[in-house]
Amino acid sequence: MKTALITIGSTREYIDPVRYISNESSGKQGISLIKGLLKKNYKIICLHGYLKVKPIISRKIKYIFTPNAKSMLQEAKKNYKVDIAIFNAAVSDFYVKSFSKNKIKSKKGLTLQLINNPDILKSICSSQKKPLITVGFAYETNNYLDNAKKKLENKKCDFIVLNYPLKNDFIFNNNFNNGGILDKQGNYYEIGNVSKTVFANKIIKHILEI
């Protein structure tokens, strides 16, 4: 049986016990990708942050809760021996230098010093110990294809799935997605504005065919 690693959901970096920095993600696209992989008879390791959807219960899926970027990278390094790895999670790019153990009292303004989190996709793709196929995600709001190409080159992954907003629709937290997939040879396959289930199935089909 073939194996897959997938990251889904959003990570959080806490400022104090109740406040945090995060990225927008419901986990819907990630769950749709898991469904698609199950249909192809993959055994799945899912590293997940915070989800707004219910996970799929299956003996073929192992869930590992990774609440922040560092824990997600640590688990990704442990589980790199897979046929395909899909990095779909919305990982927070920064963490707060000084975490407050006590709740910060309300006041006029607050200055935070932010530190760059480890780059999970680049770390895994640049390592000698890496999955056979690596797939990253890029959400872009301008110069969509150019920015996706730059990310593909920088991260050194095999594919980048490009997501971009529609007019008056940022495509978060709904049942539809918009975009396409780019490979290392510069070939771009536009999927368009379709349901997240269809989007996931087209991504998996395209990758496996190539």
- The answer to whether residue 77 sits within a structural domain is yes
Report the predicted TM-score, pTM, of the whole model to 2 decimal places: 0.95
User: Quick check: 31 and 55 in contact, CB under 8 A?
Assistant: yes
* Cα-Cα end-to-end distance for the chain: 19
Indicate the SS3 state at residue 15: coil
24 assigned to some structural domain: yes
pLDDT of residue 34: 98
- How many domains does the chain contain in total? 1
**Residue 136 falls within a domain, yes or no?**
yes
Question: Residue 172's pLDDT is what?
Answer: 85
Check residue 108 and give its pLDDT.
78
Q: Is residue 41 part of a domain?
A: yes
106, part of any domain: no
- Name the band, by pLDDT with cuts 50, 70 and 90, for residue 66: very high
What CATH number is associated with residue 165? 3.40.50.10300
> Is residue 130 domain-resident?
yes
**Average pLDDT for the chain:** 95
Position 167 scores a pLDDT of: 79
**102 located within any domain:** no
Tell me the per-residue pLDDT of 13-50, one tens digit each, with 9 for 90 and over. 999 999 999 999 999 999 999 999 999 999 999 999 99
Residue 52: give the domain boundaries: 3-96+111-209
Distances (CA, A) of 159 to 28, 111, 207: 20, 38, 8
186 is a domain residue = yes
